């Protein structure tokens, strides 16, 4: 079984660079009514912005918040595996490459140290215990999955890296970005979240991080019935694809919403 997992990882590693070829003709599903738009200056940027949008009854995107500064992966971005963008030519996300996944992704559950979300929130969440973890080892069967071990007092050796309750302020709230989730491909990247940044110039290994008040506002805004999604692209890619993918007009991305 272990040999098979290692072989799968080796094959995945050969496919980091996808050849130029047929481009997906996918459009963001009409059921998505909340969208978080993330843009970076280029593929190697670690700084950028996110902005929240709501779809109105006519299917038009309206900005509902001002742009928020964020940090991406320490090495920038690479194409990820989500709702849209999986088969684009170019560099693709791999485990420990220090890049945030680009494309469009579902927003999953919130994980928190607290027994409740910030006041005003209404979204599925899980209070993290000492038994909870997220597997980032491609050789393990639950790679890129949330897991709960039966005996946290006597954990398996691999759990030390996987455990989620670290007492780390940056992981106080984790909002899952569902990259490489359905199903996970070994080695294609794991444990991608929105979370609190460690500093204005300290990027993550692939998550999207921000100041704590901005993350709290995002959590309060999310609603499961609106099927929120996250799009992350370099600005040049966004300008090329926004119409095809059903995204907000670039003219209103990065602008202050009307009062």
Q: pLDDT, tens digit, for every residue of 194-207?
A: 999 999 999 999 99
Q: Which of 110, 93, 106 is nearest to 196 (CA)?
A: 110
Q: Which residues contact 145 (CB under 8 A, 6 or more apart)?
A: 134, 135, 184
Q: Which of 137, 142, 136, 140 is nearest to 2 (CA)?
A: 140
Q: What average pLDDT does the segment 164-177 reach?
A: 94
Q: Checking DSSP bridges between strand 100-112 and strand 173-177, what pairing results, if any?
A: antiparallel
Q: Which of 221, 192, 227, 197 is nearest to 111 (CA)?
A: 192
- Whether the pLDDT of residue 13 is over 50: the answer is no
What residues does each domain of the chain span?
Answer: 2-13+33-245
Lowest mean pLDDT among 19-33, 164-178, 190-204: 19-33
Hunting for tokens 């964020």 — which residue is that?
Answer: 70
Task: Report percent pLDDT > 90 for the chain.
Answer: 84
Q: Checking DSSP bridges between strand 61-63 and strand 77-79, what pairing results, if any?
A: unpaired
Q: What average pLDDT does the segment 55-78 reach?
A: 96
Q: Which of 100, 108, 103, 99 is nearest to 176 (CA)?
A: 108
pLDDT score at 26: 61
């Amino acid at each position: 079984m272990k040999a098979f997992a290692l072989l799968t990882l080796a094959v995945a590693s050969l496919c980091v660079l996808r050849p130029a070829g047929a481009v997906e003709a996918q459009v963001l599903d009409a059921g998505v009514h909340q969208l978080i738009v993330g843009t970076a200056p280029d593929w190697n940027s670690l700084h950028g912005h996110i902005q929240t949008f709501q779809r109105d009854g006519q299917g038009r995107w309206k900005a509902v918040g001002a742009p928020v500064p964020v940090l991406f992966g320490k090495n920038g971005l690479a194409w990820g595996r989500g709702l849209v963008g999986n088969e684009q030519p170019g560099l693709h996300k791999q485990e420990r490459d220090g890049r945030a996944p680009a494309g469009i992704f579902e927003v999953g559950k919130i994980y928190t140290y607290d027994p409740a979300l910030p006041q005003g929130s209404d979204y599925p969440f899980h209070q993290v215990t000492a038994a909870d973890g997220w597997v980032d080892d491609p050789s393990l069967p639950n790679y890129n999955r949330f897991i709960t071990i039966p005996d946290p007092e006597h954990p398996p050796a691999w759990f030390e890296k996987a455990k989620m309750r670290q007492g780390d302020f940056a992981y106080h709230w984790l909002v899952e970005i569902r990259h490489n989730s359905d199903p996970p491909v070994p080695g294609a990247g794991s444990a991608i979240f929105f979370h609190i940044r460690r500093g204005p110039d300290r990027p993550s290994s692939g998550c999207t991080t921000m100041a704590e008040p901005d993350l709290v506002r995002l959590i309060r805004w999310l609603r499961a019935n609106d099927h929120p999604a996250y799009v992350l692209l370099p600005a040049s890619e966004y300008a090329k694809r926004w119409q095809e993918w059903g995204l907000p007009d670039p003219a209103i991305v990065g602008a202050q919403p009307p009062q």
